[in-house]
């Protein structure tokens, strides 16, 4: 079945937020949220040091819509594998508040979904995957009556891009779940390049890296989170994503499937194609966007909304003079990460019935 998506073209903030209200109504927010519902807004607060995370006003608008429907909204995210400012709930909350995600600014409290150290979760069994038969869903997601998945579209070093499916999977998993998705890929060190600075060892969540004349990675302890590849200042550590990214993407799709099965017909997706950067919001510094802002997409199908997002980013569709225009895709995502076939994420998601790639765009102007 072809999914209906609602598109708010980029404009000034007041017009976009008003369009977001109309799009949520058109997409069926009233069917998802009813009076008294505890509704989780799953978003990303941005790592400390980053500035390109989503403006809290988007979360505030979603929270206001939920309250208008009689629901009780709260914002959430889950703790990270790497040891920085979102590795535990206390530091995570401080980061969220520093970035403006407060009750005063957003009109809804922040609850870290998986507890102090990621141990607050429920195991949910499901069928349909070849990698997983169950997923660990954090309490703050599992126990909510309904959910709005508020995503920031970015390129991604391991999956090619990250949006709704990644927010459902990595974003709705505790550290145990993140480890299960990542564990097929092991980084290696180019010893001639390594300067033995120790940055990788400081970030490693499992203590798998020791440094003497150069960094050494214990693959028995390594959970393949990939953080060492990001923080290395001389790019001496790499993961063969061309061999393993497809498996990671399949696992992400299956984890997302488990989350949606736990909340059938109770999830709305809002994806913002704003500040579209080469790395995700887990970074500690901001890189310039690699393309102009596009707008916001709203719908109830995570695969369709990710496909439409990619189509906008790749230039397969664009908004010109009040209409949607189709053109030949240019695929800047492959220019950034030439070794990653991001299409696996969408094709596999469709094959396991997470959603459909076909969609109809309805313009909210």
Two tokens, residue 256: 């997302």
Task: Give the tens place of pLDDT for each residue, 158-195.
Answer: 899 999 999 999 999 998 898 889 877 688 999 999 99
pLDDT number for residue 268: 98
Residue range(s) of every CATH 3.30.70.20 domain in the chain: 188-238
pLDDT for residue 244: 80
Angle of helix 13-27 relative to helix 56-68, nearest 10 degrees, comes to 40
pTM: 0.90
Residues in contact with 90: Cβ distance below 8 Å, sequence separation at least 6, in sequence order: 116
Q: Could you count the other beta carbons within 10 Å of the beta carbon of residue 126?
A: 16
The band of 223, judged by pLDDT with boundaries at 50, 70 and 90, is confident
Which CATH class for the 3-182+240-363 domain? alpha beta
Cα-Cα-Cα-Cα dihedral of 185, 51, 153, 21, to 10°? 150
Mean local confidence (pLDDT), 45-62: 97
Whole-number pLDDT of residue 243:
57
Which residues make up the CATH 3.40.50.11440 domain(s) of the chain?
A: 3-182+240-363
- Which pLDDT score is estimated for 239? 74
Contact assessment for residue 194 and residue 236, using Cβ atoms and an 8 Å cutoff:
yes
4-27 pLDDT tens trace: 999 999 999 999 999 999 999 999
Residue 343 CB partners (closer than 8 Å, separation 6+)? none
Mean pLDDT over each residue of the chain, to the nearest integer:
94
Please give the class, per CATH, of domain 188-238: alpha beta
Q: How confident is the model at residue 241 (pLDDT cuts 50, 70, 90)?
A: low
Q: What is the pLDDT of residue 242?
A: 54
Q: Are the CB atoms for 312 and 326 separated by under 8 Å?
A: no
CA 23 to chain centre: 21
Residue 83 has pLDDT above 80, yes or no: no
What distance in Å separates the CA atoms of residue 13 and residue 21, rounded to the nearest whole number?
A: 12
Distance CA 214, CA 192 (A): 8
């Amino acid at each position: 079945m072809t999914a209906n998506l609602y598109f708010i073209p980029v404009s000034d903030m007041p017009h976009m937020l008003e369009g977001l209200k109309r799009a949520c109504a058109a997409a069926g927010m009233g069917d998802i949220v009813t009076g008294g519902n505890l509704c989780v807004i799953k978003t990303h607060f941005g790592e400390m040091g980053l500035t390109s995370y989503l403006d809290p006003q988007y979360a505030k608008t979603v929270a206001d819509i939920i309250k208008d429907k009689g629901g009780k909204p709260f914002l959430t995210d889950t703790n990270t594998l790497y040891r920085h400012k979102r590795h535990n709930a206390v530091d995570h909350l401080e980061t969220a508040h520093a970035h403006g995600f407060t009750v005063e600014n957003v009109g809804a409290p922040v609850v870290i979904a998986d507890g102090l150290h990621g141990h607050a979760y429920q195991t949910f069994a499901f069928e349909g995957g070849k990698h997983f038969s169950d997923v660990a869903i954090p309490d703050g997601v599992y126990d909510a009556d309904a959910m709005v998945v508020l995503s920031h579209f970015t390129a991604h070093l391991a999956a090619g891009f990250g949006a709704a499916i990644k927010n459902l999977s990595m974003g709705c998993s505790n550290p145990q779940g993140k480890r299960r998705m990542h564990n097929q890929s092991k980084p290696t060190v180019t010893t001639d390049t390594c300067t033995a600075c120790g940055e990788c060892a400081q970030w490693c969540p499992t203590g798998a890296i020791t440094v003497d004349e150069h960094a050494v990675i214990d693959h028995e302890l390594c959970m393949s989170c990939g953080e060492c590849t990001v923080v290395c200042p001389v790019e001496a550590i790499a993961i063969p994503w061309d061999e393993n990214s497809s498996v990671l993407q399949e696992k992400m799709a299956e984890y997302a499937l488990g989350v949606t099965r736990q909340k059938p017909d109770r999830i709305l997706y809002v994806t913002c194609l704003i500040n579209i950067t080469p790395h995700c919001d887990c970074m500690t510094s901001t890189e310039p966007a690699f393309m102009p802002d596009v707008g916001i997409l709203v719908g109830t199908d995570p695969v369709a909304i990710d496909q439409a997002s990619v189509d906008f980013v790749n230039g397969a569709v664009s908004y010109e003079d009040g209409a949607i225009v189709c053109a030949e895709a240019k695929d800047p995502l492959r220019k950034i990460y030439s070794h990653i076939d991001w299409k696996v994420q969408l094709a596999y998601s469709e094959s396991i019935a997470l959603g459909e790639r076909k969609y109809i765009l309805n313009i909210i102007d």
